[in-house]
């Protein structure tokens, strides 16, 4: 049942069917305006903080938490579009920025990573403390991995009704290997432009915490994970990080309705990110594999919003409506 064998995303244009064009064009050329957010700083129990960007519907108890991708923030085009789609349909929206994202370096000796679901747990608990009872989670790329790790590793509160992950690296090692291959390595170079300066800034905050000599040798994501992510966040090595932070290793524990959408032509995702055996007998997690869509692409000709926005909303409403009507 949880395998969705026939996707409704069937684009006609050539650029929408090509892996790299369908990834790059929506991200670079189709700019969706940044919503009118109100930013509030959430002070954390460990002495750090998260920047939360809000859009509130005063008479709605429904809220969607939007989780951005690697080296993204709350104002990326794909998140802007998704934010508008839900907000225009009576949802409050919370787009949160991970530690060190959103234009402000965090305080502690840690950054963000795929396994940092403790911060999503803090955000969810904050919303519950404010009285929200209908909470949906929607994440793109790394954000999808974060929400799946959250759903699979914590005692999920009853207020969290549903999750949707778009273009999710279910296996981090598989994704890292895929991004070492030509021409996909170009994407790593793009991430590197902003990620390395951020790591260097963190190293200046905490002298000796990061080996800057090793950082000069970085040519791939797995080297960053080996030299920075694993040691900075108390993993024994990158292999341990890949095991513990890959959603495939906790997916069997998820008991909240969840949809994962991975396009078959996604240049970021390796073979293990399409392991249907993880889903075919799963009672809660649905897996959809459109033929096309690239990575966080899924554009629709002549339309403001992507197919992913609409698919996420429609899946969410199956469970929000059930809750409201029960």
The whole-model pTM stands at: 0.96
pLDDT tens profile 109-152: 999 999 999 999 999 999 999 999 999 999 999 999 999 999 99
The lowest-confidence range among 30-39, 82-91, 308-317 is: 30-39
Is the pLDDT at 325 greater than 90? The verdict is no
Which of these ranges, 36-50, 63-77, 206-220, has the smallest mean pLDDT?
A: 206-220
| Residue 10 to residue 119: CA distance in whole angstroms | 36
* Residue 162 β-bridge partners: 136
Distance of CA 110 to CAs 102, 199, 240, Å?
16, 10, 17
Q: Determine contact, residues 106/42, Cβ cutoff 8 Å.
A: no
| Rounded alpha-carbon distances, angstroms, from residue 240 to 150, 178, 220, 247 | 18, 19, 18, 13
The CATH homologous superfamily to which domain 3-170+250-325 belongs is Alpha/Beta hydrolase fold, catalytic domain (3.40.50.1820)
Cα 216 from Cα 219, distance rounded (Å): 9
Residue 322: per-residue pLDDT: 59
Question: What is the C-alpha to C-alpha distance for residues 92 and 10, in angstroms, rounded to an integer?
Answer: 30
- Give CA–CA dist 40/134, Å, rounded: 21
What kind and span of H or E run contains 205? helix 185-205
């Amino acid at each position: 049942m949880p395998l969705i064998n026939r996707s409704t995303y069937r684009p006609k244009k050539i650029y929408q069917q090509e892996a790299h064009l369908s990834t790059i064009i929506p991200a670079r050329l189709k700019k969706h305006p940044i919503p009118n957010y109100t930013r509030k700083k959430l002070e954390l129990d460990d002495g750090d903080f998260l920047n939360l960007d809000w859009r509130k519907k005063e008479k709605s108890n429904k809220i969607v938490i939007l989780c951005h991708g690697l080296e993204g923030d709350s104002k990326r085009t794909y998140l802007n579009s998704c934010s508008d789609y839900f907000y225009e349909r009576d949802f409050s929206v919370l787009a949160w920025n991970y530690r060190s994202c959103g234009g402000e370096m965090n305080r502690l000796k840690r950054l963000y990573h795929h396994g940092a679901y403790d911060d999503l747990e803090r955000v969810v608990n904050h919303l519950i403390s404010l009285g929200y009872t209908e909470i949906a989670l929607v994440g793109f790329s790394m954000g999808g991995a974060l929400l799946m790790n959250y759903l699979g590793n914590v005692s999920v509160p009853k207020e969290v009704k549903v999750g949707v992950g778009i273009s999710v690296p279910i296996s981090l090692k598989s994704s890292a290997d895929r991004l070492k291959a030509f021409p996909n390595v170009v994407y790593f170079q793009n991430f590197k432009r902003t990620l390395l300066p951020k790591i260097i800034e963190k190293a200046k905050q905490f002298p000796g915490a990061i080996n800057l000599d090793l950082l000069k040798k970085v040519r791939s994501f797995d080297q960053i994970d080996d030299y920075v992510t694993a040691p900075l966040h108390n993993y024994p090595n990158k292999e341990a990080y890949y095991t513990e932070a890959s959603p495939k290793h906790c997916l069997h524990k998820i008991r909240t309705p969840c949809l994962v959408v991975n396009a078959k032509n996604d240049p970021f995702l390796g073979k293990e990110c399409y392991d249907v055996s993880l889903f075919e007998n799963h009672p809660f997690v649905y897996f959809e594999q459109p033929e096309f869509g690239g990575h966080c692409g899924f554009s629709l000709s002549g339309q403001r919003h992507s197919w992913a926005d609409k698919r996420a909303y429609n899946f969410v409403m199956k469970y929000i409506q059930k809750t409201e009507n029960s």
